[in-house]
Chains A and B, each alone.
Chain A
């Protein structure tokens, strides 16, 4: 303490060289205030955009909803010519196709994530595999639709030849073909997020298990997966949210059933219908305000379902990442 004070006394007070430090001029300060205000305003615009979107769609959907008194939600008939706009089939189809896709894409995606996250292979090959799986996500969904029409449906038809009783039901574009393609489309999401969850498992836990003589898969099953399960669950829920909103591949493959077909069926071989596909197929020709209103309502339902699922998924991922805070050294 005394040493420093004596040195201050001895050396003359240091002055900054001229022109290095300069007070901001008035116009600079003004511009600073302006620029801060601008970014603040634009930041709020993002919030306005989200809220405005919900409000705008609700306002456009309101007249139809008011006229019908909410009959749309339990009616299965969508017939624009008779002003019948039941969307129960579409809600069902959206949930069912996404669940089927999740069953397949989720299982496969987690298995791939384990294979890539664990050190089965040299890290260069793992990085290559990871990039390949990410490539799946880069392919636009309309191309998956095109591929589904020209590859998946013929392949399914060829496969079902061995089961004549099933082939009779199979209509080409169907829940099954749509869900298969959807499963492939959500796989990269599941894999990427599950891989994050697996890699955030503290290495100590793994080492402990190996130290006790556990085999690799005993470690994975009993230590790694239970620890990472919250994160993996979050990954699956977010993938579910993605599947619900997926449009093009479904519009091209799901068959767009009408009320005459079996509307609320568990049979995946039959054609189905989803909310997003309904929007994609009917919006381009819609001009009648009542029909536009009904479509807006379908859009609102889709928006709300995906919003709830995504928020839930994000919450779980957030909990999962908070979980290891104390365990990391």
Chain B
């Protein structure tokens, strides 16, 4: 490291060594401005698809939604100009409910182990690793799994679809619930221990009730993700033109409905796909916004 000797004053005064000038005639200032503009442009470009998607959803989907019958009618067949996605909406709700029933209690209990009982154990790190792997799992693989474990033995059903969705929801729930449990202040736990509570009582009566808002947020994010998934349902719940009355039969869902009617040559049926998309996006976004509101309120209360 060569430094300026302290005893000799520098040949060049400080002001000349660095230039604080902000003049547009200078290359570095211009370059700065140019790059700022470019990155701003990139942001605008990135938002064009979003605006385009939302515009298409509203302009193509809203018209059909004004006919209330789309919510109650069965899917159109052949060249039908009417019809709706009533059974698809029903199927989505049922399968998301099945997936939640399977994955929410499971996920929360796993999170309890990770955050409370086995915090620093080897088991916990292995399980966390497994959950992270599940996060990056391609959604169609969840479908293949449900196909291999259920459909190959019992046939296509909404239950199999629910299992596929549950696999995708599980990591979100485990990881967000663990985070939520860890945020519970230590003092609260210690007070409960001081009264002679068992570890389980501390978890069930103190930690879980305190962490509930944040856990609900995680669950809702998982639900929002599951509601929009198509790939795991394609060959597990498949599709149906009829109402769902048993859990063990093929079932339509909004996502698969959109897939099926996206490429049909009939204008009216494509419009129906857009209408279903608008319903699905509204559903997903509402859940997302609610989840954020819950977190915000929980934080405001602390």
A contact residues vs B (CB 8 Å cutoff):
20-24, 28-29, 31-32, 35-36, 38-40, 42-47, 49-50, 53, 56-57, 60, 108-109, 111-112, 114-116, 120, 129, 132-133, 135-136, 138-147, 149-151, 184, 187, 191, 212-213, 215-218, 220, 238, 241-242, 244-248, 252, 276, 279-280, 283-284, 286, 292, 295-296, 299, 302-303, 306-307, 310-311, 314
CB-based nearest B residue for A36: B117
Residues of A within 8 A of B109 (CB): 38-39, 42
Q: Once the chains are docked, how many angstroms separate the CA of A47 from the CA of B56?
A: 42
Are B147 and A142 in contact, CB atoms less than 8 angstroms apart?
A: no
**Interface pair A20/B46, CB less than 8 Å apart:** no
Shortest Cβ distance from residue A53 to the other chain B in the assembled complex, whole angstroms: 5
**How would residues 188 to 225 of chain B score, 1 for a CB under 8 Å from any chain A CB and 0 otherwise?**
00000011111111011000000000000000000010
Bound Cα distance from A203 to B166, whole angstroms? 42
Taking CB atoms and an 8 Å cut-off, the chain B residues in 30-72 that contact chain A are 31-32, 35-36, 38-40, 42-43, 45-47, 49-50, 52-53, 56-57, 60
Residue of B nearest to A219 (CB): B32
Contact B274 A120 (CB under 8 A): no
Asked whether B144 lies within 8 Å of A57 as measured between CB atoms, the reply is: yes
With contacts defined as CB atoms under 8 Å apart, how many contacts are there between chain A and chain B in the complex? 257
Please report B residues at the A interface, Cβ cutoff 8 Å: 18-20, 28-29, 31-32, 35-36, 38-40, 42-43, 45-47, 49-50, 52-53, 56-57, 60, 106, 109-110, 112-114, 116-118, 123-124, 126-127, 130-134, 136-141, 143-145, 147-149, 152, 167, 170, 174, 194-201, 203-204, 224, 227-231, 234-235, 238, 255-256, 258-259, 262-263, 270, 273-274, 277, 280-281, 284-285, 288
Instruction: Report the separation of the CA atoms of residues A276 and B148 in the bound assembly, to the nearest whole angstrom.
Output: 16
21 pairs, A vs B, C-beta closer than 8 Å: A21-B195, A24-B196, A36-B117, A36-B200, A39-B116, A42-B113, A43-B124, A46-B131, A57-B144, A112-B46, A115-B39, A138-B224, A139-B284, A141-B228, A142-B259, A215-B31, A218-B32, A241-B136, A283-B147, A307-B136, A310-B136
Looking at the complex, which one of A24, A53, A109 makes contact with B197 (CB distance below 8 Å)? Answer: A24
- Contact for A140 among B32, B39, B280, CB less than 8 A: B280
Chain B neighbourhood of A247, CB < 8 A: 138-140, 230-231
Asked if B56 and A57 make an inter-chain contact with CB atoms under 8 angstroms apart, the answer reads no
Asked whether, in the complex, the Cβ of A216 is within 8 Å of the Cβ of B32, the reply is: yes
Residue of A50, A218, A299, A303 contacting most chain B CB atoms (<10 Å): A50
A213 and B113 contact, CB distance less than 8 A? no
CA distance A3 to B133 in the complex (A): 58
CB-CB nearest in chain B for A185: B49
Q: Which one, A108, A149, A306, contacts B42 given CB within 8 A?
A: A108
- What distance in Å separates the Cβ of A171 from its nearest Cβ neighbour in chain B? 14
Of all chain A residues, which has the CB nearest B256?
A142
Q: Are B231 and A276 neighbours in the complex by a CB distance under 8 Å?
A: yes
